[in-house]
Structure 1
Amino acid sequence: MTQVSAETAARAVLDTAGRRAGIDVAKAELMRLGENALYRLPNRIIARIARSGQLAAAAREVAVARWLEASGVDAVRVLPDVAQPVDVDGRAVTWWQELPPHREGTALQVATALRRLHDLPPPTGFNIGRLDPFVRLAERIDRAVTLSEADRAWMRAHLSDLAVRYAALPETLPESVVHGDAWIGNVVSAGNRVVFLDLERCSVGPPEWDLTSTAVKTFTLAGISVEDYAVFVRAYGYDVTAWAGFEVLRDIREFRMTCMAAQVAAENPARHDEIVLRLACLRGERGSRPWLWTPVP
């Protein structure tokens, strides 16, 4: 599906969902078309349209948002008094309250927010699920049509190897609720609030999974400084890079980012060079970390 046809399809889904929910979407503006389609509506409403097959994940995300609000953990908030998600031909549409102007969280803010999240007891009113670090990766590989079959075969083999390594992880910190995708863009500073975004992968799992995101941002991508990483470690109280299982989670995180680039390239072939670069890095063909990867939507 091309970028234009993907936008047309998302708009059609939004129109149907708006009619069913009783929400006027006539003046909706597309904010982003990536893993999810995001639209801004009047009255500070955000509509989020997931890809097909994500109804259960969307329902859990709404439940997580309500639970976090009740628990006193600041996160993006669902629009109240609206039945969610709306199912439009297998695509989930959810409705959210727009945040005020915000920016990426600092290392200190991310660490503090994660510490508070990880200290919460798991919810009892719904099944939050267990962490699946490989969710949707096989699907993204299958759809990576800009890659050769040899490249996709390598990715499938690498995925299998990572699954074996993950199953043999050494002892972790006590399991907790984890955000699931806790890089600095998903923990933002909005005035005096530090807010979690993108709650669809919240689940129960090893806290190290969330901590690895900031380590990867530092040591794989050079996106934050080593000094900022030290602030993160002090604030949280644990250095995941010193843990024996760190390289396993790091490698899975890097592979998830690579599979996302493959998905983006399949829909926008102009981004093909980025997936080629990332695969070369994973194969050891571009030297040691850090690597200069260009963000994809």
Structure 2
Amino acid sequence: MTSETLTDSTDKILQTACARAGLDPAGATVLNRSENVIYRLSGAVVARISRPGQNAAALREVEVARWLESEGIGAVRVLPNLDQPIVVDERAVTFWRELPPHRHGTPTEVATVLRKLHSLPPPTDFDLGTLDPFVRLDKRIESATTLSSDDHEWLREHLAELKDRWTQVPAGHPWCVVHGDAWVGNVVATDAGDVVLLDLERTSFGPPEWDTVHTAIKYKTLEQITTAEYQSFCDVYGSDVTAWEGYELLRDLREFRMTTMAAQTAVHIPADRAQADHRIACLRGKLGPRPWSGWRAVPGKQG
């Protein structure tokens, strides 16, 4: 392994998991260090190390990937013929096929793959679970030690308000299989033209609007895509989530998740501290109404 890139206990976890899997960790490099730690190994293999206590979630992600492959949906593929996850020191390690050269998906490509995903009947041989829009939010807030006490208190109060609003979410399209974190960084297009879903840990049964609202935020909240791009997204998917009466609730939830993600990464990545503060200031109305500028992706994640 390259010691300059492996800076915490995950290097030992990776070594142990590779030994159990019959893989060679020599030369491993860190691709991303966020909620999960991701390494590239030789042989076009990617290893993913979860947070402690996420064994069930890692198993479900493996099951989802295998199921999507059987359904012909473009998604990351687990390394075959390997019993996964491998648990080391309460952290689940999974191994995946590395993607070929690729780029972020366009809004139209996101709409195409979401329409296919949302049309699938739920799997019958494992429990997909139900969407939880509040997963880990309380822990993110409590662990965000770079924030002021005033911002901490506001985040806690706003979370309670969002939970109350969620109990009254309006009816929309029928619930279905959802990706759970369908921003453009989690939908990529390979040089061969394949559109591939990444990061399947939030895949569950829930409202399809949860998947489409992120592209609407890119358009209406952040102005990061054009009117033509958003219209193409809606035309291909078949509906416009902003016309639904529950849009503002899901928008607020997704923006809150995006903000707490930045607050979480800021603890270990000083460059993200200004981003976390900026997002909170936007949510608190200190920088005027939407659209807001200045939002950038924190390492590999949006919410």
TM-score, structure 1 normalization: 0.96
1:7 counterpart residue number = 7
What's the CA shift for 1:262?
A: 0.7
2:128 counterpart residue number = 128
Identity fraction in percent: 55
Would you say the 8 A contact 1:219–1:289 is kept in 2? yes
1:295 counterpart residue number = 297
Structure 1 unmatched runs, 5+: none
What's the CA shift for 1:296?
A: 0.9
2:34 counterpart residue number = 34
2:21 counterpart residue number = 21
Would you say the 8 A contact 1:211–1:240 is kept in 2? yes
> Structure 2: how far apart are the matches of 1:8 and 1:264?
16
1:249 counterpart residue number = 250
What's the CA shift for 1:5?
A: 10
- Secondary structure, aligned partner of 2:100: coil
Listed one character per residue, the Cα deviations across residues 131-184 of structure 1 (whole Å, up to 9, x for unaligned) are: 001100000001011112221111111001011111101111001000000011
What's the CA shift for 1:16?
A: 1.3
Farther-moved stretch of structure 1 (24-33 vs 226-235): 24-33
Would you say the 8 A contact 2:173–2:207 is kept in 1? yes
Q: Are 2:184 and 1:184 equivalent residues in the alignment?
A: yes
Would you say the 8 A contact 2:180–2:204 is kept in 1? yes
2:232 counterpart residue number = 231
Would you say the 8 A contact 1:221–1:289 is kept in 2? yes
The within-5 A match list for 1:160-171 is: 160-171=160-171
The within-5 A match list for 1:43-122 is: 43-122=43-122
What's the CA shift for 1:268?
A: 2.2
Structure 2 unmatched runs, 5+: none
Would you say the 8 A contact 1:36–1:50 is kept in 2? yes
Listed one character per residue, the Cα deviations across residues 264-291 of structure 1 (whole Å, up to 9, x for unaligned) are: 1111234221111111100111012222
Instruction: Read off the aligned partner of 1:228 and give its amino acid letter.
Output: E
CA RMSD of aligned residues (A): 1.3
> Structure 1: how far apart are the matches of 2:92 and 2:61?
11
Question: Residues 267, 109 of structure 1: CA spacing in aligned structure 2 closer, same or farther, 3 A cutoff?
Answer: same
Would you say the 8 A contact 1:49–1:92 is kept in 2? yes
> Structure 1: how far apart are the matches of 2:170 and 2:207?
11
What's the CA shift for 1:108?
A: 1.1
> Structure 1: how far apart are the matches of 2:99 and 2:138?
33
> Structure 2: how far apart are the matches of 1:219 and 1:6?
39
Instruction: Read off the aligned partner of 1:103 and give its amino acid letter.
Output: R
- Secondary structure, aligned partner of 2:73: coil
What's the CA shift for 1:35?
A: 2.1
> Structure 2: how far apart are the matches of 1:270 and 1:195?
29
Instruction: Read off the aligned partner of 2:105 and give its amino acid letter.
Output: G
The aligned length equals 294
> Structure 1: how far apart are the matches of 2:289 and 2:6?
37
Would you say the 8 A contact 1:29–1:41 is kept in 2? yes
> Structure 2: how far apart are the matches of 1:282 and 1:251?
9
TM-score, structure 2 normalization: 0.94
> Structure 1: how far apart are the matches of 2:274 and 2:110?
31
What's the CA shift for 1:6?
A: 8.0
- Secondary structure, aligned partner of 1:251: helix
